[in-house]
Structure 1
Amino acid sequence: MSVFAKAKASRSARAVLSGAALVGVSALLLTACSSGGGEAASPSASETAAAGDALPIKAGDRALDLKIGTILPQSGTLAFLGPPEEAGVALGATEVNDAASGLNLEVIYRDSGDTTTDTATVSVTDLLSQDVSAIVGAASSGVSFTVIDQITGAGVVQFSPANTSPDFTTYEDKGLYFRTAPSDLLQGEVLGTQIAEDGNSTLGLLVLNDPYGTGLAAATKEAFEAAGGEVVVEQQFNTGDSNFDAQLSAISAAKPDAVAVITFDEAKVVVPALVGSGYPGDKLYFVDGNLADYSADFAPGLIAGSKGTLPGPKLEDDFRERLLTADPALTDFSYGPESYDAAVLIALAAYAANSTDGTEIAKYLQQVSGGTGDGTKVTTFEEGAKLLAEGKQIDYDGASGPVTFDENGDPTEATIGVYEYGADNKYTRIN
């Protein structure tokens, strides 16, 4: 099933209506609150604009040299996501520069690694020394939490195409953090409900113990139990672990009808072990962190019939072909659209602000996404830049969807796709 969700929230209030998810016949309003305490934060620039007072756009030509960096996974447990994400940024940069709008976009690509290394910190330090205005990444929520203070503390925009931890919604980020991926409160709602609708009464959870894994597991459990199911076993492991015998034994002993594998690259180890122990391969459920092409990793048919979820609309053939011009070797396209939109939105916000200062760009990001409630619809940087040069407001709808940021830098409209694996251990969208 495809899910469309809208949400609105406030950074200063530190509370969020995280999404209204329409799943099957149920309609649930998901809510979450951050811990209180401390002094109240002063309103961010995006909050000021969100009150319905869009910031003015100065008409006229631009002469801007915008430099951004990326910290996307070239190594580590999410390395399979690096190529499509970097291709998305590269395609966005190419199309921005081809528009000949007076804004020139330069991208510096760096590795994020994973949480077992300090690769992201080293990369961010390097990028900040080169005076970037924004950094696209990381893909991993856990990695982003290790560098968000470093980035936003420097007055630089952090824009992730794939962070899904609910904790970012109310994080004190000086109004400088944005993402094109929806909170896992939504993905968990879809996943848990899908598992129940497939006729499963009991569920086991194998969970990566980091902000991504535990947040998604909690949302999945809540949705599954709300649909009448029971989570009978939940086992966690840490990034870098190589032995999962205890966790797999506990899951096998509980004999759940289905198992949600909420991991990253560790799926390559745990899935064959689960199926090898006699667990049916078609009763496994994957998530965005491990929904990958396993044709070269698993025996044919090992996971045929298993399902998984991934944020984002159905990838259009035209956009797929455009991504392949940036990286002809791509075989996975996950989060490529979200990465493309990140690059384009940053460029549009810089154009609207007529500035390459990170804090000025942040002031306009919600606005150019249509989050202030006005503006002419545009779907490319070129269309948007032309209107902005005339002093007009815009509402960018991108390859990943309408985007439409709320005051937290979260997209208020999102789609979650459900996918199924075939005998070749490749996945296709079924909704």
Structure 2
Amino acid sequence: MKRHILGLAGASALAIGLQTGAALAQDCSVNVGTLYPTSVDWGRPIAETALWVGEMINEAGGVDGCEVNMILRDDQNDGRVGVDAARALVDIDQVQLLIGTVSSGITIPILTSVTAPAGVMQMSCCSSSTRLTEIAASGEARGLWFRTFATADVQAAVAAMLARDAGIESITVVYKNDDWGQDIGRMAAAAFEAVGIEVHASIALNDAQPSYRAEATQALRDQPGALYLALYPTEGISFVREWLGLGGTSVMIGANSLRSDDFRTTVGLANLGDFVGTDTSSPRVPSAEAFVDAYAAHFGSAPSGPGLSNSFDAAAIALLAYHAAGRDATGTEIAAQVPRVTDPDGEAIPATVEGFAQAMAILSEGGSVSYQGATGAVTFDANGNVSAPAVSWVFDDSGMAEQRYISLEEVSGFMASIN
């Protein structure tokens, strides 16, 4: 199998026709929009994972017998760029399905101003803001919205669990000043307070400031016992260096957005010995273990970094739903087929080329399947949300290592106790 090396700049697009030799003899194709921040280090593997699924679907026979043409655009982790790229995919490339993106602050305006008004289905791997639940519940998303990543309240609750178990008595919350950061920052502060941890302050960081020294000084004023960081690597690196330079504590809890080699190497492993991160996790089931093995065989290394398993499942479920709806389907018709792909009573199918071929045969005959993927047997609620276990993780010489697995039952029980 070939691997696509992605290095896109600006809003330019790379249209990738995923040819797989003799597996596809047909002369039709379907365009699928793929929108991810490929110009940042943690975004490229997420996009590559989605493209890999396109290869597998083509090898299994394509969407309704047609070749999948994954059209990839780079949102540069910027809201304005992301909306423009999404409009190009919808208006120029005429996609009925858009897979992406990562940041909630980009996903929200795309959903409300581009995909939902145009009747295009949108499936995100990684956007976690609860604002998206509100949009779906209000009807504004028109039933076109799904995500394979649990909402931000899971990570917020797990951060409070870790802080409580570590004996932390006071904390300051530092968050990115966008939809995602405001959402998770607010929920994290409430969760800390619910377990008896004093929250000294909640401080917002704006993009592209030349310095975060003023914010670091403000955070240091009350001498908190720890920091909670809901930041992306760029501002996270700048803020943490200022914070440590001013003598701030090295005890930090971070959201999964800091699960980045750039953050680890630039801040320095010596300064991150007391850092612990949170993330949602795949359940400990055979399909999740099979994904790790398949990923390593395809890319040459085990999956490391945020969103990879979620990206795989987002692309797989969306493309199988497209197959079930038919090559000429609208976004509304594709979205209507998602329950047939994730039916708990359907035939269990593995996330392999053979499994995809089996699923497509069953779906073509009017049946339903229970997709068993990288994050387990995925099911969605009425607002396009999923539930998930969680993990804590740390930085080490090899990159990032899991510290503790927290089952779905434990996560749900803890969230109920603090709510």
Q: TM range, normalised to the smaller chain? A: 0.7 to 0.9
Contact 2:174–2:202 under 8 Å retained in 1: yes
In the alignment, structure 1 residue 92 sits paired with structure 2 residue 53:
yes
Deviation for aligned residue 1:236 = 0.9
- The CA deviation string for residues 62-85 of structure 1, in whole angstroms up to 9 with x for no partner, is 99733211110023xxx2331121
Q: Provide the TM-score with structure 2 as the length reference.
A: 0.80
Counterpart of 1:110 in structure 2 is: 73
CA distance in 2, matches of 1:273, 1:180: 35
Deviation for aligned residue 1:318 = 4.8
- Alignment map for 1:188-227 (pairs within 5 Å): 188-227=156-195
CA distance in 2, matches of 1:327, 1:110: 21
Counterpart of 1:127 in structure 2 is: 89
Q: Provide the TM-score with structure 1 as the length reference.
A: 0.78
Q: Identity over aligned residues, as a percent?
A: 24
Structure 1 residue ranges without an equivalent (≥5): 1-61
Counterpart of 2:37 in structure 1 is: 73
In the alignment, structure 1 residue 306 sits paired with structure 2 residue 275:
yes
User: In the superposition, relative to structure 1, how do residues 374 and 289 fare at CA in structure 2: closer, same or farther (>3 Å)?
Assistant: same
Partner AA of 2:375 in structure 1: S
Residue 101 of structure 2 is aligned with which of 128, 135, 138? Answer: 138
Residue 352 of structure 1 is aligned with which of 324, 336, 339? Answer: 324
Q: CA RMSD in A?
A: 2.3
Counterpart of 2:346 in structure 1 is: 375
Deviation for aligned residue 1:346 = 1.2
In the alignment, structure 1 residue 395 sits paired with structure 2 residue 370:
yes
Structure 2 residue ranges without an equivalent (≥5): 1-25, 405-419
User: In the superposition, relative to structure 1, how do residues 163 and 364 fare at CA in structure 2: closer, same or farther (>3 Å)?
Assistant: same
CA distance in 2, matches of 1:81, 1:287: 14
Counterpart of 2:388 in structure 1 is: 414
Counterpart of 2:266 in structure 1 is: 297
Deviation for aligned residue 1:396 = 1.1
SS in 1 for 2:291: helix
CA distance in 1, matches of 2:84, 2:381: 31
Contact 1:300–1:425 under 8 Å retained in 2: no
Task: Out of 381-390 and 218-227, give the one that drifted further.
Answer: 381-390
Deviation for aligned residue 1:366 = 3.1
Counterpart of 1:342 in structure 2 is: 314
Deviation for aligned residue 1:181 = 0.7
In the alignment, structure 1 residue 170 sits paired with structure 2 residue 134:
yes
- The CA deviation string for residues 329-366 of structure 1, in whole angstroms up to 9 with x for no partner, is 89843211111111111111122223432110011113
Counterpart of 1:365 in structure 2 is: 338
Contact 1:88–1:338 under 8 Å retained in 2: no
Contact 2:304–2:400 under 8 Å retained in 1: no
Contact 1:182–1:311 under 8 Å retained in 2: yes
User: In the superposition, relative to structure 1, how do residues 343 and 331 fare at CA in structure 2: closer, same or farther (>3 Å)?
Assistant: closer
SS in 1 for 2:38: coil
CA distance in 2, matches of 1:406, 1:64: 34
CA distance in 1, matches of 2:276, 2:47: 26
Task: Out of 307-316 and 161-170, give the one that drifted further.
Answer: 307-316
Contact 2:174–2:231 under 8 Å retained in 1: yes
CA distance in 2, matches of 1:160, 1:180: 7
Deviation for aligned residue 1:201 = 0.9
Deviation for aligned residue 1:324 = 5.2
SS in 1 for 2:391: strand
SS in 2 for 1:200: coil
Counterpart of 1:243 in structure 2 is: 211
Contact 1:139–1:162 under 8 Å retained in 2: yes
SS in 1 for 2:380: coil
Contact 1:96–1:105 under 8 Å retained in 2: yes
| Structure richer in helix, relative to its length | 2
Contact 1:262–1:289 under 8 Å retained in 2: yes
Deviation for aligned residue 1:125 = 2.2
Deviation for aligned residue 1:295 = 4.3
Structure number with the bigger relative contact order (C-alpha 8 A, sep ≥ 6) is 1
Contact 2:174–2:204 under 8 Å retained in 1: yes
Task: Out of 309-318 and 322-331, give the one that drifted further.
Answer: 322-331
Contact 1:84–1:330 under 8 Å retained in 2: no
Contact 2:293–2:302 under 8 Å retained in 1: no
Counterpart of 1:229 in structure 2 is: 197
Partner AA of 2:254 in structure 1: F
Partner AA of 2:265 in structure 1: A
CA distance in 2, matches of 1:325, 1:425: 19
User: In the superposition, relative to structure 1, how do residues 425 and 241 fare at CA in structure 2: closer, same or farther (>3 Å)?
Assistant: farther
User: In the superposition, relative to structure 1, how do residues 330 and 118 fare at CA in structure 2: closer, same or farther (>3 Å)?
Assistant: farther
CA distance in 2, matches of 1:330, 1:74: 19
Contact 1:91–1:323 under 8 Å retained in 2: no
Deviation for aligned residue 1:231 = 0.5
